[in-house]
Chain A
Amino acid sequence: QQQVKQSPQSLIVQKGGISIINCAYENTAFDYFPWYQQFPGKGPALLIAIRPDVSEKKEGRFTISFNKSAKQFSLHIMDSQPGDSATYFCGGSQGNLIFGKGTKLSVKP
């Protein structure tokens, strides 16, 4: 049973544009929702995270929007840069992390 569904699988955005990645979860016991960024050959790096009692969290160019009733959350990357090109994973946690399958983002100069 896949508990976290992530879309799209891949995304191409022009430099300066907005990248949007969506996730839907099933387990209402999740109490923590992180986003990770992973470059080839590296482990996932925590980007930003949100708890279900908050509807939005912004850190620099990165924003999480959270809709508890719809069991959905999304990552917005404003002013996308070529250096943002990486694979992004959403997750849900009540202890152990359940990850989505990932979105490969390519930002074209």
Chain B
Amino acid sequence: DAGVTQSPTHLIKTRGQHVTLRCSPISGHKSVSWYQQVLGQGPQFIFQYYEKEERGRGNFPDRFSARQFPNYSSELNVNALLLGDSALYLCASSFRPQGQPQHFGDGTRLSIL
């Protein structure tokens, strides 16, 4: 069975640009969460979606937004990119939003020049 898939795997952008990252959850999983992982740190929670509705939001600016589609795939959008947005962006999926194992993809490596 396919795990969580994310695209693209690598991305290079310049400051001020916009980026869209995509995630396909494990089949049957209805909850998708996004995390940002800066080099040498643990992943930090950005958003959680369940059944297309936002269930939680971490301490990130409004430049970050996300949505979940009817097929449970998800997009993370970041506007007005800053150098500090350079990180590994991880997507995780689970059957339900709480008390369930979250399974991660291999992430999108975003570099801002």
The A/B interface has a contact count, at CB < 8 Å, of 60
Q: Looking across the interface, which residue of chain B has its beta carbon closest to that of A96?
A: B45
- How would residues 78 to 102 of chain B score, 1 for a CB under 8 Å from any chain A CB and 0 otherwise? 0000000000001010000111111
B42 within 8 A of A: yes
Contact of B33 among A42, A43, A96, A100 (CB under 8 A): A96
**A interface size (C-beta, 8 A):** 25
- How would residues 22 to 63 of chain B score, 1 for a CB under 8 Å from any chain A CB and 0 otherwise? 000000000001010000111111001000000110100000
Shortest C-beta distance, A31 to chain B (Å), equals 5
Given known A-B contacts A32-B99, A34-B101, A95 and B48 have beta carbons under 8 A apart: yes
**With the chains together, A41 CA to B6 CA distance in Å?**
13
B13 within 8 A of A: no
Contact of B102 among A42, A97, A101 (CB under 8 A): A97
B72 within 8 A of A: no
Q: Looking across the interface, which residue of chain B has its beta carbon closest to that of A89?
A: B42
Shortest C-beta distance, B62 to chain A (Å), equals 18
Shortest C-beta distance, B51 to chain A (Å), equals 14
Shortest C-beta distance, A45 to chain B (Å), equals 7
Q: Is the CB of A43 within 8 A of B58?
A: no
Given known A-B contacts A44-B90, A102-B41, A102-B42, A96 and B48 have beta carbons under 8 A apart: yes
Contact of B104 among A32, A44, A93 (CB under 8 A): A44
Q: Looking across the interface, which residue of chain B has its beta carbon closest to that of A94?
A: B98
Given known A-B contacts A31-B98, A93-B99, A95-B48, A43 and B42 have beta carbons under 8 A apart: no
B103 within 8 A of A: yes
Q: Is the CB of B45 within 8 A of A97?
A: yes
Which B residues are within 8 Å of any A CB, using their own CB?
4, 33, 35, 40-45, 48, 55-56, 58, 90, 92, 97-107
Which 4 residue pairs across A and B have the least CB separation, nearest first? Answer: A99-B42, A43-B104, A96-B45, A43-B106
